[in-house]
Amino acid sequence: MEIEQILKEISPLSLQTIQQIVAKTQLIRLPKNTTLLDADKIEKKVYFIKKGIVRAYKLDDGKQITFWFGKEGSSILSMRSYVENKPSYETIELLEDSELYEINMSDLQTFYATNLEISNWGRKLAEIELIKTEERFISRQLGTAIDRYKNLLEEDPSLINRVQLGFIASYLGISQVTLSRIRAEI
């Protein structure tokens, strides 16, 4: 997915504004298993996935708890670093060889201070990320394990073929054995 398309899907932008952002954006290629963001560090960059898949996780008593997947078109950022310039909660790891668009948060902050169109785009980016977080939280609190798995299949069936089942089980808040049982039932 090209950067121009990703930017416009967040919020419409003029061609001139897109060109300003693209001029500060760099395409990088990183191998599978690369740690892109480290928990407890202030993240200074925002990424957009051109190609590949990533997961966000948090360590809990030495166990990795996966709580988010991103794929082509997704934004990758630590909201805590983005909003408060504080260390992130999560670690983000590449699950496939990936191509990412990278932009410095300092460049975005400069745009926000000088360009109302980009400032509104940045607000929309934060709003979209907040809604995704709310949806994950509500699903995790209210749905059964079978409901969560069915929702995952409806929302993004490609994850099942691209992500290790252990990560999917963690994301759903269940054991891999329970996930195997659910998969056998469906």
Q: What pLDDT digit, counting tens, does each position of 11-30 carry?
A: 999 999 999 999 999 999 99
Would you say residue 143 has pLDDT above 80?
A: no
Gyration radius from the chain CA atoms: 17
How far is the C-alpha of 57 from the C-alpha of 27, rounded, in Å? 24
Confidence at residue 149, expressed as pLDDT on a 0 to 100 scale: 93
Read off the pLDDT of each residue in 67-80 and give the average, rounded to a whole number. Answer: 94
